[in-house]
Structure 1
Amino acid sequence: AGLVDMSSFAKFLLQGPQAEAALQRLAANDVAVPVGTSVYTALLNARGTFESDLTAARIAPDSYLLLTGTAQATRDAHWIRRQLPEGVTLTDVTSSYAVLSLAGPKVPEILSRLSPTSFDLADFQANAIRKITIGYATTWACRRSYLGDGFELYAPVEFTAAIYDALHEAGADLGLVDVGYYAVDSLRIEKGFRAWGRELTPDVNPYEAGLGFAVTLGKGDFLGREALVAAKAAPRTKRLIALVGPRPSGQMAWGGEAILADGKPIGEITSAGFGASLDGIVALGWASSDQPIDQAWLDARSWAIDLAGTSVSVSASLAAPLDRTHSRS
């Protein structure tokens, strides 16, 4: 099991009697969910392209905890506040809460040693968020993680050191270790999780990015819906693809490398690293063509990436690297 300090994530409280209606207009996904549920959603502009992506956790009938990327705090706060009606407030609580992210098959057992809450995956279902106690601390626990299937703890900062120590004490015999951000990036690429500023920008719509699940067209009107309806019906000649290559013997891919289809440049890598689960290079990147791009189109071509002038053969897929051999959690 791994433990990552992701306290730099930006965190906001959206509150007010009309908080649900306000967020429904801003979010492309359906956030009219029961209290105790979190939702991953795109935030779009009128062109139907990304302004941000975030997690909205409903913690009360009139309150959502919003979690977004570290570098997005000021940008997202400005974008959201511009759209809010009177009586709905957005409060930056980033400095009030730490985020401890846990991933691995032993995590439910570790947490169960510290809290009376059941962390059995059948009881604590994906995307659920609940208040739990760990020792003398009360914290939010959410079953989601940027590392794959796992749990995130949103803890008051004054209790974080004690919770961190308790987690390591409870998980010592189960192999709990601290994990750094190179590992985080590797794991999220293996799972195909997109990152703002790399895969997601204001020039990209959710269907191109393979994030159609973060959109609910049938929920009613929202910002960017009209453009998304047109984008969904249009041929997709630009797609985000996942690449898997051999274990590097010299140069490593880090992003920015050319993607080659049948020897010709067709796009650029946005994120890359070493995938320990697959023992090789894993990468995400954009491919563009004058033809619609689907999996059959990818399979009909030979793929490579340019590593410092050397062409390295890779496989290409619309599915995340791990999803080719593992079920997505």
Structure 2
Amino acid sequence: RALRVTYVGELGWELHVPIAATGEIFDALMAAGAKHSIRPVGYRALESLRLEKGYRAWGSDITPNDTPQEAGLGWAVKLRKNMDFVGRRALEKISGTALKKRFAGFTVDDREIVLVGRETILRNNEPVGYLTSGGYGYTVGKNIGYGYVRNADGVSDDFLASGEYELVVAMERTPAKIHLEPLYDPAGEKVKA
């Protein structure tokens, strides 16, 4: 089964094949792609690309403790349709209320800083959350981290944009810039081709 989806920010394919056929299919793909200089990539390359695009990783960026709205994925939930799904009633209860936490991206300019996740997010010198994932974006040339910014009074776009941010990396504070849009292809043109 071939699905026209991406987890790296460029139009691509995801192949679902029987385990026993993976070697044969891998060999066929490598042979067919040789004229295009195809080569395998590792998990860290995929991680770098998904961070640049702002794709969430299950288990770190999104967990059962996060709502789709908090994770910036509210567009994927169809509350206006008369269709039941697990968690619908819980989402209806909080629909229209101010979010107490929001998923956001952060970059640091210092290339020596290594973000891996779990770094503390400071807003105006106060801890407001921590990074859920991090890494280096080779296409955009920046260190990238994602995490949730929390505020008991609500986390609006204005609240997020008006703060001065730092990340605590290895016990040292480093200036950070907040991003609410993907760093790579924010309009999503590359995946619409």
1:205 counterpart letter in structure 2: T
Looking at structure 1, the residues matched to 185 and 89 of structure 2 have their Cα atoms a distance apart, in angstroms, of 31
Whose strand proportion is higher, 1 or 2?
1
Q: Residue in 2 aligned with 1:184?
A: 46
Q: Which runs of 5+ in 1 are unaligned?
A: 1-139
Shift of 1:326: 6.0
Shift of 1:236: 1.0
2:161 counterpart letter in structure 1: D
TM-score by length of 1: 0.54
Q: Residue in 1 aligned with 2:118?
A: 256
Q: Residue in 1 aligned with 2:108?
A: 245
CA deviation vs aligned residue, 1:134-185 (integer Å, no higher than 9, x gap): xxxxxx1110122233101112333322221221122223221111111111
* Contact residue 242 and residue 318 of structure 1 kept, 8 A: yes
Shift of 1:248: 2.0
Q: Residue in 2 aligned with 1:129?
A: none
Shift of 1:259: 0.6
What secondary structure does 1:266 align onto? strand
Q: Residue in 1 aligned with 2:165?
A: 303
Q: Residue in 2 aligned with 1:230?
A: 93
- Rate the CA distance shift 1:327–1:243 in 2: closer, same or farther, 3 A: farther
Structure 1 residue 144 corresponds to structure 2 residue 9: no
CA deviation vs aligned residue, 1:35-72 (integer Å, no higher than 9, x gap): xxxxxxxxxxxxxxxxxxxxxxxxxxxxxxxxxxxxxx
Q: Which residues in structure 2 correspond to 1:278-297 (within 5 Å)?
A: 278-297=140-159
1:224 counterpart letter in structure 2: G
What secondary structure does 2:13 align onto? strand
1:285 counterpart letter in structure 2: G
Structure 1 residue 204 corresponds to structure 2 residue 57: no
Shift of 1:198: 0.9
What secondary structure does 1:270 align onto? strand
Q: Which residues in structure 2 correspond to 1:28-177 (within 5 Å)?
A: 140-148=1-9, 149-177=11-39
- Rate the CA distance shift 1:227–1:326 in 2: closer, same or farther, 3 A: closer
TM-score by length of 2: 0.88
Structure 1 consecutive aligned stretches of length 4 or more whose deviation exceeds 6 Å: none
Shift of 1:186: 1.5
2:132 counterpart letter in structure 1: T
Count of residue correspondences = 189
Structure 1 residue 268 corresponds to structure 2 residue 114: no
* Contact residue 62 and residue 71 of structure 2 kept, 8 A: yes
1:299 counterpart letter in structure 2: A
- Rate the CA distance shift 1:202–1:155 in 2: closer, same or farther, 3 A: closer
2:156 counterpart letter in structure 1: D
Q: Residue in 2 aligned with 1:316?
A: 178
What is the root-mean-square deviation of aligned Cα atoms in Å? 1.9
What secondary structure does 2:86 align onto? coil
* Contact residue 244 and residue 321 of structure 1 kept, 8 A: no
What secondary structure does 1:178 align onto? coil
